[in-house]
Amino acid sequence: MRIQSIDVLRGMAILGILLMNIYFHGIMSMGYVPFDITPQSDIWVDTFNAIFADGRFRTLFCILFGAGLAIQMKSCEKKGFNYQDFLKSRLNWLMIFGIIHGVFIFGGDILFLYAVCALVIIKKLTLPTRELFVKAKKWLIIGTVISALFSVLAALAAGLEPEVVRGSDAFLEEYNNWMGNYGYQVTIQAIFAAFLVISSPLWVFWQVAGLMLLGVYFYRIGFFKRGLTTSQFKTFALAAAALTGLDIFMRLSFFSVGNEISSLLASISAIFMSILYIHGVIYLLKNNHRWIEIFKAPGRMAFTLYIMQSVVLAVLLRWVFPEVHLTASMIDYLAMAVGMILFQLVFANWYLSQFKQGPLEALWRKAYLASFAKKQAKLQPAES
C-alpha cells in the first residue's frame, strides 16, 4: 500500500526544485547574474527563496529518495528477491539516464549523483534502526563541517576576483559563448557533471547520503504517517527560523562573504524546513484537506517531470528566447518557474487519468526489470 504523504511530498519536491533550478536552465555555467544596481524585487525574491526554496526541496527529495530505497527493499523481501541486486539494477539505469541528462541537456543533473550515493548506502539499509539514525546524523555532521570549510575558503577567495554583473564584458562573453553553441554547452555540462561526481566524496556526498539514510530511518519509524510531536514541532520550527533568519541577514549584509556563508546556512536550515514540510503535509492529509492531493500525480511521475523541465526550458531559454537573460530579473525567473510548475501540475494529473504511469517511469521500469531478470537467470544455474 502506497503511503499518501510520500507521493504528495515527492510531487511538491520535484516541482519545488524548479524554483532554484530555473536560474541555471538558461546559462548553466553562470546561473543568475546580478545587476550592477540590485532591483528591489530581487531582494524580495531572494528572501522568499531563503525562507521557502533554497535547498528545501533538494533536501526533501534526498530524504524521500532514501525512503524509496527502504520501500523497495521491503517489497523485495516480501517477494523473495535479492534486494541488493534489484536496487542495483534500478540505480545503474538511473545513472545511465543521469549521464545522458547531465551531459546533453542540463549540467545541474541530480540523478547520477543520487544513484551513486544510493549505491554506496545499499548495504547499510539493513542496519538496526537506532544505528541507522546515528549513521545518518554522523554523515550529516561530516557534510556540514566540510561544507563550512569550503564556504570559508570560497568567502576568502570572493574578494580576489571582480563580481560578474549583468551587461559586463565577462557576462556578455559567456552569454555569446553559450547561446546557440550546443557543442560548448555539452562540453561545459560534461565537465561540471564529472567534477560534481568525482569531487563529491570531498563534500556533497556526505550530505546527500546522510539525508537518504535519514529517509530510511523516517520510513522505519513510521514518521511519514504520524509526523512530529508538538514539542518536536516547536524545536524544529525554532531552529529553522533562527538559521533562516541568520541566512537572510547574511544575504542582505554588505559583507563580501555573505553569499558563501548564506549557502552553508541554507543547507543546514533546509534539513529542519524539509522536515516541517513533511509534517505539514501529514497534518493536511490527516485533517482531510484533499486539495493537497493534487501533488500526488506529479509525485508518481517525478522522473518524467524532472526531465521535461530540463528539455522544455533548455529549448525556450537557450534557443527560442535567449535574449531574456540580458534583462530578466529574479521575479521574471520566478514567474517562469511558477508557470512551468502550474503547467506540470495540470499535465501530470491529466496524464495519470489516461495512463498508469509516466512515460519515463515506464521506460525505466522496463529497463531495470530486464536487467534484473538477466541477473537472476545467470544466478540460477550457479545456485542449482
Contact 34, 166 (CB under 8 A): yes
Residue 183 or 158, more confident? 183
Domain that holds residue 219: 4-383
Q: What is the pLDDT, as a whole number, of residue 255?
A: 46
Closest CA to 179 of 19, 320, 35: 320
Instruction: Report the C-alpha gap between 90 and 265 in whole angstroms.
Output: 33
Q: What is the pLDDT, as a whole number, of residue 48?
A: 96
Residue 148 or 239, more confident? 239
pLDDT tens-digit readout, 286-326: 999 999 999 999 999 999 999 999 999 999 999 999 999 99
Question: 87 CB contacts (<8 Å, ≥6 apart)?
Answer: 69, 72, 73, 76, 118, 122
Whether residue 226 is predicted with pLDDT greater than 90 in this model: the reply is yes
Grade residue 382 by pLDDT with cuts at 50, 70 and 90.
low
Grade residue 256 by pLDDT with cuts at 50, 70 and 90.
very low
pLDDT, the chain, mean: 93
Q: What is the pLDDT, as a whole number, of residue 368?
A: 98
Instruction: Report the C-alpha gap between 324 and 322 in whole angstroms.
Output: 5
Q: What is the pLDDT, as a whole number, of residue 329?
A: 97
Q: What is the pLDDT, as a whole number, of residue 2?
A: 78
Please compute Rg for the chain using Cα positions: 21
**Span 323-341, average pLDDT:** 98
Grade residue 147 by pLDDT with cuts at 50, 70 and 90.
confident
Number of domain units in the chain: 1
The percent of residues above 90 in pLDDT, for the chain, comes to 84
Task: Give CA separation, 64 vs 81, 175, 266, in Å.
Answer: 22, 36, 19
CA torsion, ordered 332, 14, 52, 34, to nearest 10 deg: -40
Grade residue 216 by pLDDT with cuts at 50, 70 and 90.
very high
**Span 249-264, average pLDDT:** 71
| Lowest model confidence (mean pLDDT) among 69-83, 84-98, 159-173, 355-369 | 159-173
Whether residue 156 is predicted with pLDDT greater than 80 in this model: the reply is no
**Span 105-123, average pLDDT:** 95
Tell whether pTM > 0.85: yes
Instruction: Report the C-alpha gap between 129 and 348 in whole angstroms.
Output: 35
